[in-house]
Amino acid sequence: MLSRTPFGMRRLRLVLVTVLAVLAAGVVAVSSSAPAQAAGAPLSATGQKWRLKVNGLYVSAEIDASGNDAGKLRARTTSPGGTEEFTLHTDTGGDTVTIRSQANGLYVSSEINDSGDHAGMLRARGTTTGSWERFEVVPGSDGSYALKSAANGKYVTAEFNFTGDDEGLLRARSDTVGSWERITLEKAGGTGSTTAPPAPSGAAGGTHHVTSWNVCADHNGSCSLDQATSSRITDTIAPQIEKNGPEAVFLQEFCEKAAKPLELRLEQDTGLGWDVRFAPVYLEVSGASGLMAQKNCQNDTAGVDRGAFGIAVAVPDENTWYRAYLLPSPTGKQQRPALCATVPSKGIAYCGTHFSSGGANWDDPDGTWRKKQADSLQADIQGVQQAGFEPLFGGDLNVIPPDSSTIENPDVRSTLTALYASYHECDQPAADSPRSGDPTHGTLKIDYVFGSKAASYACTVTDSSASDHRLISATVTY
């Protein structure tokens, strides 16, 4: 059972999460030729955060300003805080980026319809991403970048000759790149906890229930949640999850803005406290080697932004330590994460992931990268084990088990050999049983839950019309 949150505290959590859910659902669709309307957006739990710096000054989003100045960007401080943190996103395959303020959760827009000294000024006020919110990233020889607005083809400039409240104002207005157009990107945390996890307060024991599910909620015409709203994602997947009564859930192909609504729904339905942690998939920005932006989910069918695309882990709300790990992934393709969260009283670390896709027309045709991802995941798992936690981990690994009767390249079939050697998979009844299992996607098993060899396992695969994957649920007894 999950530890219960005191009623008053849980009620406050529900109120706060309700507000976030309303904000996430209440944005207005816009076209790419018009500026977006202001509204809130939830923040990514583990997406890489950045500070923007021009001529030694950090760029601030002036979220306390009003009227036409609300959210304007200025290079103005040497002491960065929350209003100086941003995340980078892309929904165009890395060709352009969008910039989202951590201070208000809104995308930065180029105000090309403004006139005079505010013509082309940048403001954090967009609820979705059109041409006004997109920028081409142009690397400089000194490690800096220039940003060219997709709205007017002009480079972003910091106006250091302006005075008063407009000093250092960022505007898309230059045809050339000089010192005022050179922007340095500085990492500002992100990826979750940066220290080692605190020691567990309890030892893993008894029986535990874990579910993994690729919910197929981004853009796949064969899935019912194709471009679904955050509320429909939540209303569809929560009852399916709850049928299995898990204490933790691994979710793949999930949209960021559904995280808080799902947390609220699970708390309402179970009467227990939950945290839903999210980790984005990244794409390398075109022409900017090594610079990664979070891949966004496609807008829902009404044109509403759904935030970043990635994975989530739902765990009891006593969780405070969580970390995303970037797995080795094919160059120019989706950069895949793993996400771990510890629950000290249970002595367990729950880790979910989603490996690269296989097949001739996908990211990893011959399995080279999935083998690297499996090795990297095992190293990450060993890290939380060294901190004293028993691991329960899994997800959509996009490869069939070694003893499956399905024909596949022998090199690909060996991808999980090392994981099976060190851990036990829930659909393998005993250590000497065949390494196989019931199909979770069509006729193939490609979804897994692993854990310690010291436990016993039972596995259930449940069909659902909501996704092209079935749920896989493990009962683990120490």
pLDDT given at position 404 = 85
Give the pLDDT score at 408.
Answer: 66
pLDDT of residue 44: 66
Give the pLDDT band of residue 3 (cuts 50, 70, 90). very low
3-state secondary structure of 332: coil
Tell me: the pLDDT tens digits for 435-459? 999 999 999 999 999 999 999 999 9
User: Parallel, antiparallel, or unpaired for β 98-101 and 145-149?
Assistant: unpaired
Q: Is the pLDDT of residue 13 over 60?
A: no
Give residue 361's pLDDT.
Answer: 84
pLDDT attached to residue 411: 67
Mean pLDDT along residues 53-59: 98
Burial (0-12, 13-18, 19+ Cβ within 10 Å), 92: middle
Q: Poorest-confidence range of 340-349, 404-413, 421-430?
A: 404-413
* Bridge partners of residue 457, in order along the sequence: 476
Q: Residue 8: CA atoms inside 13 Å, Cβ hemisphere, count?
A: 0
Stretch 64-73: mean pLDDT, rounded? 97
Opening angle at CA 278, ends 454 and 263, nearest 5: 90
Tell me the pTM.
0.91
Q: 252-295, pLDDT tens digit by residue?
A: 999 999 999 999 999 999 999 999 999 999 999 999 999 999 99
What string of DSSP letters covers 407-458? Answer: ---HHHHTTTHHHHHHSEETT-SSTTS-S----SBTTB--EEEEE-TTSEEE
In this prediction, residue 46 carries a pLDDT of: 93
Cα–Cα distance, 256 to 258 (Å, whole number): 5
Question: Residue 24: which pLDDT band, with cuts at 50, 70 and 90?
Answer: very low
pLDDT of residue 35: 36
Band of residue 431 on the pLDDT scale cut at 50, 70, 90: confident
| pLDDT confidence bin for 392, thresholds 50/70/90 | very high
pLDDT at 38 over 80: no
Q: How confident is the model at residue 336 (pLDDT cuts 50, 70, 90)?
A: very high
Q: Which residue ranges form the domains of the chain, and what is each CATH number?
A: 50-187 (2.80.10.50), 207-477 (3.60.10.10)
Please tell me whether residue 387 adopts helix, strand or coil conformation: coil
In this predicted model, what pLDDT tens digit does every residue of 79-124 receive, in sequence order? 999 999 999 999 888 999 999 999 999 999 999 999 999 999 999 9
pLDDT in tens, 192-249: 998 999 999 999 999 999 999 999 999 998 899 999 999 999 999 999 999 989 999 9
Spatial distance between the Cα atoms of 37 and 413, rounded to a whole number of angstroms: 50
Q: Is the pLDDT of residue 18 over 50?
A: no
Q: CA-CA distances (angstroms) from residue 282 to 12, 122, 468? A: 34, 24, 23
**pLDDT the model gives residue 41:** 52
Q: What is the DSSP string of 99-137?
A: EEETTT--EEEEETT--GGGTTEEEEEESS-SGGG-EEE
pLDDT at residue 2 greater than cutoff 60: no
For residues 163-168, give the mean pLDDT.
97
Of the chain, the percentage scoring pLDDT greater than 70 comes to 90
Statement: residue 391 has pLDDT above 70: yes
What is the average pLDDT across 126-145? 96
- For residues 136 and 220, which has the higher predicted lDDT (pLDDT)? 136
Q: How far apart are CA 209 and CA 298, in angstroms?
A: 32
Q: Strand 309-316 relative to strand 248-255: parallel, antiparallel, unpaired?
A: antiparallel
Q: Are 350 and 343 in contact (CB under 8 A)?
A: yes
Mean pLDDT score across all residues of the chain: 90
